Chain A
Amino acid sequence: MDDRRYLVIIPALNEEATIEEVIREIKIHLPAADILVINDGSTDRTAAIALRQGVIVIDLPFNLGYGAALQTGFRFADKEGYESVITIDADGQHVPSSIESLLTTMEREAAHVVIGSRFIGGQYRTGIARKIGIWLFSRIARLYTGINITDPTSGFQLLKREVFSYLAEGDNYPLDYPDVNIIMILHKKKFKVVEAPVVMVNNPQKKSMHSGLNPIFYITKMVLAIIMVMMRREEK
């Protein structure tokens, strides 16, 4: 089972334009890893293109949402006995060469979770609403966890087995978008969460996953989620 150390999970919804390139890049930078594409109800050729690349493809029967797609990957990784999981977006925003940065950071910090941050070291332009949200929620997260999280919504992550097995269970992962609340839960579970610098590229013709959401709804939801994390008793 030595070569079954890493699984790269790529949740994909209608990404036929970029998925091939993302897979090819991952194969170059992490040749030992297995690659799993979770096809979250795509209506284009995403799944067919991925299959042609010789990666594992799991088709969800319909669109479940980003979080639920990722969780499907966690369940697969848990069942198949992988040691670590790397999550990366299919739209080409996350640059696979940065996986190296995640891996070395995990080694150095003996961390359970490494979150790829576009804000450490590099420059990356975001909208003003997004900036305020990130600033506010990372402040709250730091107050609660003591960890300085600069990019809590980043989907570019490296997770150790204990962590993704936990997240794979039942309702432990949100249907839509994981955020600061998940970082807080992981902290509560005594997992060590750190950040590592990664390169992300702006894709001008693609919308950010948060841009479609009404910002007021998003902020209210997050505040509620954060309060709930704090209120919930430690489950066994």
Chain B
Amino acid sequence: MSFGLRVTIFLLGLTLFLIIFEMVRRKKFREEISIAWFVVGIALMASSVADIVVDPLARKLGIGYPPALVFVWVIFFLILALIYFSYVISDLKGKVKELSQKVALLEYELEKKSGRKT
């Protein structure tokens, strides 16, 4: 890898990291959800020097094209992140249902008390 490429990848990772950091600081993003993306940012920064570790490891595993190992790892972590988001969505869906049912029932109670509905 050329030195320029290393710097570029590192800066990309750093930018991602800083964007997420700033979003969490401004409370646009909840801490627990941001963790997955911090990991991605850090991993991207680390990958600028990853070939030192990845190349010998890939060779040992019999992978002819070392970056393929990186892809496998990245995909694995992305899948983990997606599973986590699916979990959050399911959880929210259940909560939204509970809340809206409660709101509807309470609204009826309230309107009955104030005599607006039969």
- Report A's interface with B, CB cutoff 8 A: 38, 51, 54-62, 64, 68, 71-72, 75-76, 79, 170-171, 175
Contacts and interface: CB of A to CB of B under 8 A. Distances in A.
Nearest to B118: A54
B94 interface: yes
B117 A57 contact: yes
A68 B108 CA distance: 17
A60 B117 contact: no
Contact of A171 (B94, B100, B105, B107): B94
Given A64-B97, A171-B94, A51 B104 contact: no
A64 B105 contact: no
Nearest to B103: A61
Contacts of B97: 64, 68, 175
B105 A76 contact: yes
A64 B117 contact: no
Contacts, number: 43
A79 B97 CA distance: 18
Contacts of A57: 108, 117
A79 B102 CA distance: 12
B118 A51 contact: yes
Contact of A64 (B101, B107, B108, B118): B101
A79 B107 contact: no
Nearest to A72: B101
B108 A56 contact: yes
B93 interface: yes
Nearest to B96: A64
A79 B100 contact: no
A59 B105 contact: no
Contacts of A61: 100, 103-104
Given A76-B105, A171-B94, A51 B117 contact: yes
5 contacts: A56-B117, A60-B100, A61-B100, A62-B100, A175-B97
Contacts of B103: 61
Interface in B102-118: 103-105, 107-108, 117-118
Contacts of A60: 100-101, 104
Interface string B82-105: 000000000001100110110111
A74 to B, nearest CB: 10
B84 to A, nearest CB: 20
A165 B93 CA distance: 22
B52 to A, nearest CB: 45
A68 B101 contact: yes
A55 B118 CA distance: 7
B112 to A, nearest CB: 9
Contacts of B108: 56-59, 76
Contacts of B101: 60, 64, 68, 71-72, 75
Given A171-B94, A175-B93, A58 B104 contact: yes
B96 to A, nearest CB: 8
Interface in B37-94: 93-94
Given A171-B94, A175-B97, A79 B118 contact: no
